[in-house]
Structure 1
């Protein structure tokens, strides 16, 4: 097997559907909601129902939280730009596709919103998180 053959995964069926997504728990977007304890518990319940999916756009199902912070630091962008990052693609670990990112983690392709709007795909970053 050559090196590049290790990166070829078997095809799997995808179901495309629209869904409402929310900022991950303990991120700046979630903290801005200033939820009380009851609402925070309900928020966590809602988040757990939609976790572990591949996703195009929307909010990421962040395993550890700080995807935007990681991308900001890695790119050397000013800390004030942390809220400009947007999810382009989320790829979950998937047994059927023989994809395992760390310990049942995710790959996230993120990019600053201004770069996305300008179609500057070279500004995209790949971030991996796992538990």
Structure 2
């Protein structure tokens, strides 16, 4: 697929920057719902398919349990993690209370990302279900991503108006290569709907010295029981230096709608 994308770049209206764009390609993991009706507790899933490890309390916000959006198992993801950036084992849990979007930006504490061991679990009967998507297992695929037009990486290319239009067309062509896999994605460059997400993370938090100090961790598109605004996307971003040492306490959440 890399050769195919590089060919699209060379044939586009931004061919003069082909070498730079090839260097900006970033591997990502496409995340899609498994079509199997039965749900397996030991696999990655949207929603609370399995209880939390023994000894880990369910996180709360304003006294209520946070909905569990995704339970990812790095051991399953390893074959698709082209850069080998994810933890090697355990679980990576993504929590968020969608009602916090009513007063945007959402209040810190309304989302959490918690890494934990994949050990003995508490009773599944104790799983809070309110607000969480219905459990369904996930499947994964490798994909390559280019940075969005509104980003520091593309701004550095100093594209003129015609080249900017051509780059937007190029992004659409690359997206079409992966259309069957949907828009849920782990790592890579974000599928940006409006405005520079990295700049928004920097402005919202005051942490970091430049937009590219922030990187995408997980993006979730709308689905039947995950709704973000009007045709929106939910993004979990993390600072690069925190991600490299496995620190997920520094995650920031952003929502964009179409």
Tell me the TM-score range normalised by the shorter chain. 0.7 to 0.9
TM-score relative to the length of structure 1: 0.81
SS in 2 for 1:53: coil
Cα distance, 1:6–1:83 mapped onto 2, change above 3 Å:
same
Aligned length: 127
Name the structure 2 match of 1:61. 191
Deviates more, 1:14-23 or 1:38-47: 38-47
> Deviation at 1:62?
1.2
1:108 matched residue in structure 2 = 235
Following the alignment from structure 1 to structure 2, what is the Cα–Cα distance between the partners of residues 12 and 42?
38
The corresponding residue for 1:129 is 256
Counterpart of 1:7 (choices 110, 121, 131) is 131
Select the structure that is richer in helix: 1
CA distance in structure 1 between the aligned counterparts of 2:142 and 2:156, rounded to whole angstroms: 25
**Counterpart contact for 1:24–1:65, Cα < 8 Å:** no
- 1:46 CA drift (Å): 2.7
Specify whether residues 37 and 76 from structure 1 end up closer, same or farther in structure 2 by C-alpha distance, changes over 3 A only: closer
Q: 1:37 deviation in Å?
A: 4.6
Match of 1:44 among 162, 168, 190: 168
CA deviations on 1:11-44 (whole Å, 9 max, x unpaired) are 4464422111111122222211223455433321
What is the root-mean-square deviation in Å for CA atoms of aligned residues?
2.4
Q: Deviations over 1:33-61 (max 9, x none)?
A: 22345543332123224286011100001
Displacement of 1:70 in angstroms is 1.6
SS at match of 1:16: strand
Name whichever of 41-50 and 58-67 sits farther off.
41-50
Q: Which runs of 5+ in 2 are unaligned?
A: 1-63, 68-128
Within 1, Cα distance between the matches of 2:205 and 2:185? 23
CA distance in 2, matches of 1:74, 1:42: 31
CA contact (8 A) 2:229 2:256 kept: yes
1:89-129 superposed Cα distances (whole Å, 9 cap, x missing partner):
0111123xx21100111111101110000111101111111
Q: Is the Cα–Cα contact under 8 Å of residues 25 and 65 in structure 1 kept in the other structure?
A: no
The residue that corresponds to 2:145 in the other structure is 21
The correspondence for 1:89, drawn from 218, 225, 242, is 218
TM-score (norm 2): 0.44
Higher strand fraction (1 or 2): 2
Structure 1 residue matching 2:192: 3-state secondary structure: coil
